[in-house]
Structure 1
């Protein structure tokens, strides 16, 4: 008898629904243009003790002397409030030229410092009202370092398969959804009254009266889990609505494999193969093969041959498979697909950048990402798209959820950003980029992989 895999999100830890509004100012960052022409201005500060440093405006002979020392003709523009002088070069210079000019200017004993007058730009920060409640994207301690990555890419041209409970047509998500498939073959699990078909809509996974045979969970409301995961990956962004997605210009193929009580290994394996463009008997070929597969699901036990073979097929088709480590605070090698070969296994960190109390760990874990915690403060969870319905679908909403289920789509989204800047990258290369560019844990996270995924560093490495 097949054993259903349980959804990794602890239903008992689900947070309530929130509506959040806040301002959305733009932050500034220095342009990374090391190989391009950067600026035509230099800031020179003369020492206060020198006669030159006390002048309100530089004398022509002083500017001429500085030009000869710099090896480039300069023109004085103005004195700054700091007492430094702004000088303009004849044309923009690249990094090497500027370093040489500044080095020569610093040889003047009257110069306190010299530096390029760099051009700033608005960082790619979304205008979505609740973006600033998505701490897991931008906070320096526990976040994914996304804004700097967004200056380069938002995931254009990439398809991500969310192999989960299906989807709901959330207004903050619909524009990024592609046709998916319902792979659930058992009508008792599917809830929708039929078997496999092209409708991946989530009818709800609620149950009552220990229906699933686990006395720890005598009942549970519908989780709308797949909609939450999909929103983290690719919620529509810069639409003045709700939240932002990690790879907001990527597209989502929803593949429904989890229903009431979970989902069978056999259905999940077929979903993995179909998502990547492989052939599944009786099912039309996926017209939009995914480069990245997100599996925020799992169960206890070692990796089954069926699951491993499906993963191998997906990888042979060029897909990167990202999976959750699990929420049992135990060694992830005891769980599947976390222990399978060829996957990127993701642990969850809290807002402080340490291991979330529930997260699995161990040598099979590759990286970590924000999964959050809601046991003390709800807003310390991961905010994404959801639905207000307790059983059947209600109205669009947003909610904070915790879990390695929530950490995994952060990594899948970062993988989509990598594919966007380097479409020919291989699954092994994606894993190598993510693990080698991950930043060190700011708080304790023993055996949580190489670090917290750094989206900006990963995109930069993939671009090079």
Structure 2
């Protein structure tokens, strides 16, 4: 049915929606109440129908607030809600479901009385819904067959947002709720999934051989900080999670049985009974395994072995279960869990004064991507969960959220919340060394969808990046074979995802809060943003700070954050012994070229005065490097080039390394230490080197157009210990000096204090030294250590002589018979001599001849009326030899010099060719290329004629012969004709045998035929060529 409706068709960004309709403020005097506007139709989005034939108008959504009602949220917040591209207050995802584009995505969906899967909703009001609104919604639901709480449906409100949360809603009830007074938005409950697909040392939370300074050596472990893990529950009886000292820590289902317990409280929003217990006494189990793993990363002690220690082993645990065991849940559970967490920000758990309330909320989950896939880029941070995250921030809780694992520009709730610290994931490739880290290919990237306010910082998601790939942490206890709880003990497993990078940052925030007890959430977020560093160089400057879409404000570094934010309680490098190690070569101050390999050399030994005993010895030599450079604002930047790495040997050690261009002209500080069998580190030996790159460019001539006379060759260079720049024309001549005025030892001395830009070089070259035409110009850079760069080559066209053609053969002579190249032929054969010529000059050639010479005699000629400059032409000259022997064939272009060419010495090409006498007798043959079809491309619905050339290659005529033709089929060769009598085939002659296949004879596709000729009344000299 075709239907015409009044409409507005718009294409807009999310930011432009908010001004698309004129909504007057509450205080503005109006002459009449606002009226609904025509519907906004968005390409690809199914419209919302209010009846079978009527698309709903765009509602005003400014209801009068009853005098006895109040609002928790800002008035008119709903005008920024997304996803709602058509701005009608109905979640776009629900419109897809109503239009049957895809079914309900609710994990708790059942089949309703309308025959369709039920929905899970967040019904947003303009004021906080109380008994009146609850009753109205319940009445509508029941009238459509809602199963209510008796059917295990959820129906509740939370104090922080003005919404009713409900599931198992029949789709038939949706429009009645939509038209209910006070309803301003109907959200589809987000389907929340865990963001899951070596960390503590890699972010320097723990010291290591690679990074000898860690947060633990600064005396910071997250002591006294409480982290709420909102996840699938936590098996807190695990030895890494049950207590702090890991003594007498056998697993016990009673979390309060330990004298120094980590677990403080719990809440289970997924259980209809336990969700009513809000005093924190519930201790949820983890039967999915995700929450326990996450908790171990954030705050695990690593058991007595201390192998798998979390980021903040001194932090306390609050276990908030918001996922069912299948790992997917409606956001009603996360909403309830977030609300409980906010309400308990300052709760006294009855443990001790340092473990009250909740400081950090870690959320390793996010909204599942819509079935529409690539069109879904997330949301703008305006849905129920995002608004609750912002409320948590306002309450003083630091919220940490996972970016998600789609490997796409997709930022969804809760990471999309304005105030959530959104975390991306890196891959540390299973090493502590940070310089080999990469952004994980599964990690989502930003920016977030625009929410239309004036704060562009809201859209900068992610905030930071942390290790998330192949992270070892706590393994939960799976359910037993006949049910019942099974206790986790001391097992660990490996998982990947932004689920893992999120608790890394949650743990780091605990370290920051211990070091800075007065910090508010904004202070924590600023510390992370200000004191992180980047994996890649593609960054954008935002009000003086650097950000990129994959890493946010950079990779977290616990030591840098703690030291620069004023935290830390002392500590430092491991105790050092004496000077046991030396570094001899390269010499201090040496300039090093990027890409070259250098060998460091030195010696090491422990002086007798420092030997602990007779077995005391050095076991390894370790080397690390950092680079420094001055920024434009005169600040000295200090970065890690590579972490502690083993050298080869001990007494006379060596270390090979290849410098990278960490920063042009940077200082590279190499530090060498010796480690003995007692774990003592020596005092360092060190050297400072300088890092530069050797590059060469050729700017002029550009290769476009021609050059003549004196030509300036010029370009730019950078050179480490450069000596000279050379050039040559062509590949035969010697190299010539272009410039030896090279900046030495490099183009700058201190990066960003001196100009490290490339310098210019130039030289004049007399182009009349070479013929006109195309040449290759080469340039190269030579250093004083003998290093020679790969040459730059540039094609140039020299044109000193006035415009003239230049005719030349550009191929060898090819001799063919019947289109087939041959190496010999018989006397009397008609041959073709093929050659390609070109006009390489810069003027057209007109009316010139090309001749074929056979042993000094002209045997063929062809006149060419025109050959344009730079064009080629394939020629075919006839050749009919009458004598046997070796023939010298020459093709000569313009033999009479009718054209004045720039060159006259390149007009000829020649070859030798053998002509044989024909033998006596008869030699009938069907040779390659002897068969043609007419038409050349056959049509199965038309006639096709095959013409086969039968030749007599010998000198005597045949007395008689027969001809047969066969076609290949699935049964083998099928005869089409046999025994056709042929006329006499004269010596050195031929006959053409035609055969017609009539319409319908052939099937489409490739068809194979076989032709055979047989001599009668005599002997064929070569029967092998009869077929």
Same fold (TM > 0.5): yes
Query: Residue 158 of structure 1 corresponds to which residue in structure 2?
Result: 225
Give the deviation of 1:166 after TM superposition: 1.1
Select which of 437, 458, 461 maps to 2:561.
458
Query: Residue 7 of structure 1 corresponds to which residue in structure 2?
Result: 193
Give the deviation of 1:422 after TM superposition: 0.8
| 1:201 has 2:284 as partner | yes
Query: Residue 429 of structure 1 corresponds to which residue in structure 2?
Result: 523
1:55-96: CA deviations, max 9, x gaps? xxxxxxxxxxxxxxxxxxxxxxxxxxxxxxxxxxxxxxxxxx
Query: Residue 264 of structure 1 corresponds to which residue in structure 2?
Result: 330
Query: Structure 2 vs 1, CA of residues 144 and 329 (structure 1 numbering), >3 Å: closer, same or farther?
Result: farther
Select which of 244, 264, 271 maps to 1:179.
264
Contact 2:205-2:559 within 8 A present in 1 as well = yes
Query: Residue 360 of structure 1 corresponds to which residue in structure 2?
Result: 444
Unaligned stretches of 5+ residues in structure 1: 14-133, 188-192, 205-221, 373-380
| 1:400 has 2:494 as partner | yes
Query: Structure 2 vs 1, CA of residues 388 and 254 (structure 1 numbering), >3 Å: closer, same or farther?
Result: closer
Query: Structure 2 vs 1, CA of residues 196 and 179 (structure 1 numbering), >3 Å: closer, same or farther?
Result: farther
Query: Structure 2 vs 1, CA of residues 317 and 6 (structure 1 numbering), >3 Å: closer, same or farther?
Result: closer
| 1:137 has 2:200 as partner | yes
Question: Larger % of strand: which?
Answer: 2
SS in 2 for 1:180: strand
Give the deviation of 1:394 after TM superposition: 5.6
TM-score by length of 1: 0.60
Select which of 423, 436, 442 maps to 1:346.
423
Contact 1:177-1:254 within 8 A present in 2 as well = no
Give the deviation of 1:442 after TM superposition: 5.6
Contact 1:355-1:446 within 8 A present in 2 as well = no
Contact 1:5-1:297 within 8 A present in 2 as well = no
Query: Structure 2 vs 1, CA of residues 273 and 457 (structure 1 numbering), >3 Å: closer, same or farther?
Result: farther
Select which of 406, 409, 423 maps to 1:331.
409
Give the deviation of 1:395 after TM superposition: 4.2
Contact 1:332-1:362 within 8 A present in 2 as well = yes
Give the deviation of 1:435 after TM superposition: 1.2
| 1:316 has 2:419 as partner | no
Q: C-alpha distance in 2, partners of 1:331/1:289?
A: 36
Give the deviation of 1:313 after TM superposition: 2.2
Give the deviation of 1:384 after TM superposition: 0.5
Q: C-alpha distance in 2, partners of 1:196/1:348?
A: 36
Q: C-alpha distance in 2, partners of 1:195/1:273?
A: 12
SS in 2 for 1:457: helix
Q: C-alpha distance in 2, partners of 1:341/1:247?
A: 26
Contact 2:297-2:504 within 8 A present in 1 as well = yes
Q: C-alpha distance in 1, partners of 2:557/2:307?
A: 24
Q: C-alpha distance in 2, partners of 1:238/1:170?
A: 9
Select which of 290, 294, 303 maps to 2:358.
290
SS in 2 for 1:434: helix
SS in 2 for 1:406: helix
Contact 1:172-1:242 within 8 A present in 2 as well = no
Question: Larger % of helix: which?
Answer: 1
Q: C-alpha distance in 1, partners of 2:399/2:333?
A: 16
Contact 2:205-2:508 within 8 A present in 1 as well = no
Query: Residue 552 of structure 2 corresponds to which residue in structure 1?
Result: 449
Q: C-alpha distance in 2, partners of 1:144/1:268?
A: 32
Query: Residue 232 of structure 1 corresponds to which residue in structure 2?
Result: 297
1:200-229: CA deviations, max 9, x gaps? 32251xxxxxxxxxxxxxxxxx3x111111
Structure number with the bigger relative contact order (C-alpha 8 A, sep ≥ 6) is 1
Q: C-alpha distance in 2, partners of 1:285/1:308?
A: 27
Across the aligned residues of Structure 1 and Structure 2, the Cα RMSD in angstroms comes to 2.7
Select which of 474, 485, 490 maps to 1:385.
474
Query: Structure 2 vs 1, CA of residues 388 and 348 (structure 1 numbering), >3 Å: closer, same or farther?
Result: same
Q: C-alpha distance in 2, partners of 1:251/1:337?
A: 23
Query: Residue 312 of structure 2 corresponds to which residue in structure 1?
Result: 247
1:134-186: CA deviations, max 9, x gaps? 2x2224xxx45543111221111111111111111111211153233333245
Query: Structure 2 vs 1, CA of residues 242 and 5 (structure 1 numbering), >3 Å: closer, same or farther?
Result: farther
Give the deviation of 1:272 after TM superposition: 2.1
SS in 2 for 1:226: helix
Query: Residue 107 of structure 1 corresponds to which residue in structure 2?
Result: none
Query: Structure 2 vs 1, CA of residues 178 and 388 (structure 1 numbering), >3 Å: closer, same or farther?
Result: closer
Tell me which structure has the larger Cα radius of gyration: 2
SS in 1 for 2:422: strand
Query: Residue 853 of structure 2 corresponds to which residue in structure 1?
Result: none
SS in 2 for 1:330: coil
Q: C-alpha distance in 1, partners of 2:437/2:537?
A: 5
Give the deviation of 1:443 after TM superposition: 8.5
Q: C-alpha distance in 1, partners of 2:239/2:345?
A: 32
Select which of 259, 274, 278 maps to 2:340.
274
Query: Structure 2 vs 1, CA of residues 448 and 174 (structure 1 numbering), >3 Å: closer, same or farther?
Result: same
Contact 1:162-1:226 within 8 A present in 2 as well = yes
Q: C-alpha distance in 2, partners of 1:332/1:345?
A: 12
Q: C-alpha distance in 1, partners of 2:206/2:305?
A: 19
Contact 2:531-2:556 within 8 A present in 1 as well = yes
Query: Structure 2 vs 1, CA of residues 243 and 185 (structure 1 numbering), >3 Å: closer, same or farther?
Result: closer
Contact 1:319-1:427 within 8 A present in 2 as well = yes
Give the deviation of 1:196 after TM superposition: 4.1
TM-score by length of 2: 0.28
Select which of 367, 370, 374 maps to 1:299.
367
Q: C-alpha distance in 2, partners of 1:251/1:279?
A: 14
Give the deviation of 1:286 after TM superposition: 6.5
Contact 2:195-2:499 within 8 A present in 1 as well = yes
Q: C-alpha distance in 1, partners of 2:471/2:537?
A: 19
Contact 2:386-2:415 within 8 A present in 1 as well = no
Contact 2:444-2:550 within 8 A present in 1 as well = no
